[in-house]
Structure 1
């Protein structure tokens, strides 16, 4: 017996779906609340994820970040039941993933590496997925176009580059137009143009009210776009808060300057209570004073500042500060 066409496709056009996903005026329902309660995953007696809990609301770009081996990918697998949790659970609007009637239409998932049979074309891979959930073939063409795969849709996935395979995985995650997305390192394999496209796409999806969760390394290309951070270290939550709050709470603002008289400026700044470090490139890194403070002191002393800029803390800085504290 064929699966019925989803109600949200009836009476709508492909252009309306494309407009909604490409930043059009259509407004979708608010995405789900994702709740993780005490998830623990063990492999061979080793805890890869240890009693992790967090709660993510709709309409934002959320990130699980951390260094290699922190447990980021394992978290996503535990959340959807691909790996069995030793304890804890994950709920999407109060339901576990296995209790969702049509998972593709509820939660879009991209795992690394994206699964696709090498002998199937990109279009056939998506059409097979679509038919398991009663999704019309026209939706397959929509996501192929949206992810930049329309011109290679008839090629077998086995000849796709790593970037094309990543795009195919993203197309599969978007196929059911889900209100929640779990994306494991979605920028992997993409070239700079692809990363720029992905950033714009994720922002659009979040603005539509979806709950979008991505994993990434601390040096990941998407780190600066994340609204809320869950930082993992050795399987434990080190921080869970809005990104700006996590960074400001765990780093000390600094200013980097290049003066024409570094020795005189260093002595002057230390006299005003600043900490000053000389960098190998000859610039001074200052904490305890703002960029405007440094500029004012330098002007009054007749010292020329060739460069004067605030130093923006990176996620690596935040992680190191958190790790030292733990």
Structure 2
């Protein structure tokens, strides 16, 4: 059963053009002219109950605008959408009790208060019974491991801790659907892995449908089975993660720091981008060689101090999708 249904959703932002000076101000008042920016172009998709879906694209692609329409914050210019059978911009208050949302750059927590106080305020806002709230708070604290910092003012939390509290706050009232807008943005590697783990547990243990946006390829590979790619407001790919991984996420950059120089390093099916006494930078195409095989070859020849693997930038993925022959990078590609 589809919990999110989107048909021909379209959003245009209009901005009044004003020329400089008094004459420009008068002209803008009497004969206003506008510039139009199409943020979302006639998109169509459905999300089934219990899905964990990634909605990805570069900055400015239309991801956040889509979420704002699906949560009722924005009205579309054209098209229709339903979330849990309700039109979001017509039934925003009613829908608020069944959906949650987290925007990576906008907090729903009170900055100077401990997260626990914010949780209590949100419990009152959503009219959660005292006993039910206490029970649910305990479950959420355990799931998100908040005990060590829940009484710390939000302003003193690390970005990763704050994001854990943000997502926890969005599910204090049991939600059927959660919208997460860039939940891992700005996080370090450790915090990012923790947030991914918590999102996955929320989906598996509470059967929550999760719709999240990201421009991080790692989020896609580690979290979801389905991905929708949007660029310039249009959906250019709606497919399985396995299809995306096999066709578009094949290039990895491996940075290796040596404990001692290794001038005679030899590796098969790998492009060496940079080799110095201190380390090496490699480009690996996982269609022809796995990261595990590359590391095994490395470990057999040199002692390493540090290793990191970089995912391709979302802009590179988008470019690759557009660069494929017609039919290979279109919506609903075979997975």
Could you say whether these structures have the same fold, taking a TM-score greater than 0.5 normalized by the shorter chain as the test? Answer: yes
Q: Provide the C-alpha distance between the structure 2 equivalents of 1:203 and 1:192, rounded to a whole number of angstroms.
A: 17
Note if contact 1:104-1:173 (Cα within 8 Å) is conserved in structure 2: no
Note if contact 1:32-1:179 (Cα within 8 Å) is conserved in structure 2: no
- Match of 1:135, SS state, is coil
Q: 1:200 aligns with which of 178, 197, 202?
A: 197
Q: Provide the C-alpha distance between the structure 1 equivalents of 2:9 and 2:190, rounded to a whole number of angstroms.
A: 36
**Structure 2: gaps spanning 5 or more residues:** 16-35, 255-263, 276-281, 291-295, 299-309, 327-335
How has the CA–CA distance of structure 1 residues 159 and 237 changed in structure 2, closer, same or farther, with 3 Å as cutoff?
same
More strand, by proportion: 2
Note if contact 2:143-2:198 (Cα within 8 Å) is conserved in structure 1: no
The equivalent of 1:216 in structure 2 is: 214
Note if contact 2:228-2:239 (Cα within 8 Å) is conserved in structure 1: yes
Range with bigger deviation, 171-180 or 91-100: 91-100
Does 2:69 correspond to 1:72?
A: no
Q: 1:108 aligns with which of 96, 100, 104?
A: 100
Does 2:140 correspond to 1:166?
A: no
Q: Provide the C-alpha distance between the structure 1 equivalents of 2:211 and 2:319, rounded to a whole number of angstroms.
A: 23
Does 2:44 correspond to 1:53?
A: yes
Q: Provide the C-alpha distance between the structure 1 equivalents of 2:180 and 2:265, rounded to a whole number of angstroms.
A: 48
- Match of 2:148, SS state, is helix
How has the CA–CA distance of structure 1 residues 290 and 153 changed in structure 2, closer, same or farther, with 3 Å as cutoff?
closer
Q: Provide the C-alpha distance between the structure 2 equivalents of 1:279 and 1:123, rounded to a whole number of angstroms.
A: 51
Q: Provide the C-alpha distance between the structure 2 equivalents of 1:186 and 1:32, rounded to a whole number of angstroms.
A: 24
Task: Give runs of aligned pairs for residues 32-181 of structure 1, distance below 5 A.
Answer: 33-43=3-13, 44=15, 45-97=36-88, 98-99=90-91, 102-113=94-105, 114-136=107-129, 137-138=133-134, 139-181=136-178
Give 1:64 shift.
Answer: 0.7
Note if contact 2:220-2:241 (Cα within 8 Å) is conserved in structure 1: no
Q: Provide the C-alpha distance between the structure 1 equivalents of 2:234 and 2:176, rounded to a whole number of angstroms.
A: 27
Note if contact 2:54-2:224 (Cα within 8 Å) is conserved in structure 1: yes
Range with bigger deviation, 150-159 or 198-207: 150-159
- Match of 1:150, SS state, is coil
Q: Provide the C-alpha distance between the structure 1 equivalents of 2:271 and 2:139, rounded to a whole number of angstroms.
A: 55
Note if contact 1:104-1:176 (Cα within 8 Å) is conserved in structure 2: no
Give 1:219 shift.
Answer: 4.0
- Match of 1:151, SS state, is coil
The equivalent of 1:236 in structure 2 is: 234
Q: Provide the C-alpha distance between the structure 1 equivalents of 2:141 and 2:86, rounded to a whole number of angstroms.
A: 30
The equivalent of 2:259 in structure 1 is: none
Give 1:146 shift.
Answer: 3.2
Q: Provide the C-alpha distance between the structure 1 equivalents of 2:99 and 2:225, rounded to a whole number of angstroms.
A: 20
Q: Provide the C-alpha distance between the structure 2 equivalents of 1:135 and 1:284, rounded to a whole number of angstroms.
A: 53
Q: Normalization by structure 1: what TM-score?
A: 0.67
What CA RMSD, in Å, does the superposition of the two structures yield over aligned residues? 3.8
Give 1:249 shift.
Answer: 5.1
How has the CA–CA distance of structure 1 residues 285 and 102 changed in structure 2, closer, same or farther, with 3 Å as cutoff?
closer
Give CA deviations for 1:101-125 in whole Å, capped at 9, x if unaligned. 6545411111132233323332222
How has the CA–CA distance of structure 1 residues 244 and 220 changed in structure 2, closer, same or farther, with 3 Å as cutoff?
closer
Q: Normalization by structure 2: what TM-score?
A: 0.65
